[in-house]
Amino acid sequence: MQDFHPDQWYRIITSADVSARQGDQLFDLSIPIAARSKSDPQEYDVVEYFGNFIIVTQSCDLKQRKLARVEVAMVYSLSRYLSFNPSLLADLDSIRSGETHRYYLLPAWPDAPFDQLKEARVVEFDHKFSISWDELDVGRRGDRVGLRSPYIEHFGQAVARFYMRVGLPEDMPPFTAKKDPAHPPLERRLTNDDIAGVDIRQLGYHPGRLPMLSHSLDVVVHKMRFPGHPDVLYKAMVKQRGNYSGVAADADGALQSLAGYLVRKHAEAERGVIEGEDAQWLLSLFGSSSS
């Protein structure tokens, strides 16, 4: 396998005088957004959304400031994104190869001068925000990072959802998760203590209260590696139901991810989105609700 050099994807920007370009990344940026009020679901509050972003507006428009606002997309560390979307683990290589247009993968750079770049990251194109030029200028303060050519053009192609693929002089190695043979699987049990730790805000719906397990579950946790990449993840699977799993940067996080995934799937079974044997299993798994 040809050596992969992720540092060739990125350029370090040390001056605020350098014009912003598509593919530039803004770390730890706070953006005001509207969110449902906790006290009254019919009302909205303005809250600060804090995170890492990548510019998706085209470079020519940024240079001439033709637009009223600048579009940016959310960037998540791979482990954090998979902890809330564990089913995406099987799709990572199709994302890498451009077959899944909703996402884009940025490779890990272990020797990067920014901690945010040391783990592979997921760009979610349909989780976009519009920011003001003043907010962009705040995000451009201090040292930052952007994409080099031709990776900036490759990213631009993904943004535009083109069907033609830009050939790269050096592509990422396949992003296929493999169980680490040097680390035997861990035997764990999923209990109501794990369910109680689920963050309702991350579930994508508001159940009001969490369902409780009718019995604990036997779980096996595998350490996962990606040949050719430095990233390490943990995958927790229900022993008797391997299609239900959780993913995170450590074993405890993977168990917590699995707990949240099961709660979401239980809600889908209650709504009739999931039917048949899986629905019966999920409905019998959760026997009651917490107060």
Model pTM score: 0.78
* Cis bond before residue 150 (omega within 30° of 0): yes
β 44-55/10-13 pair status:
unpaired
pLDDT of residue 207: 57
Q: Which of 43-47, 81-85, 211-215, 287-291 is predicted with the least confidence, judged by mean pLDDT? A: 287-291
* Paired tokens of 174: 């396949």
Inter-residue contact 193 to 160 (CB < 8 Å): no
Q: Quick: pLDDT tens for 159-183.
A: 986 335 556 777 788 999 999 999 9
Percentage of the chain beyond pLDDT 70 is 92
Contacts of 123 (CB under 8 A, 6+ apart): 54, 73, 74, 75, 103, 104, 105, 106
* Paired tokens of 104: 């884009």
pLDDT above 80 (res 17): no
Domains defined for the chain, CATH in brackets? 6-160 (2.30.30.110), 178-289 (3.30.160)
Helical residues (DSSP H) of the chain, grouped into ranges: 59-64, 78-84, 92-96, 133-139, 151-160, 192-196, 251-271, 276-285
Integer distance in angstroms from the first to the last C-alpha of the chain? 55
Q: Quick: pLDDT tens for 182-215.
A: 999 999 999 999 999 887 766 655 556 788 999 9
Residue 187 sits at φ, ψ, to 5 deg, of -90, 120
pLDDT above 70 (res 1): no
Higher-pLDDT residue of 107, 205: 107
Any bridge partners for residue 30, and if so which? Answer: 50
155 pLDDT band (50/70/90 cuts)? Answer: very high
Concatenate the DSSP letters of all residues of 164-227 into one string. Answer: S-PPPSSPPPP---EE-TTSPPEEEEE-HHHHHT--GGGSSS--SS-EEESS-EEEEEEEEE-T
289 pLDDT band (50/70/90 cuts)? Answer: low
Q: Quick: pLDDT tens for 237-278.
A: 999 888 899 999 999 999 999 999 999 999 889 889 899 999
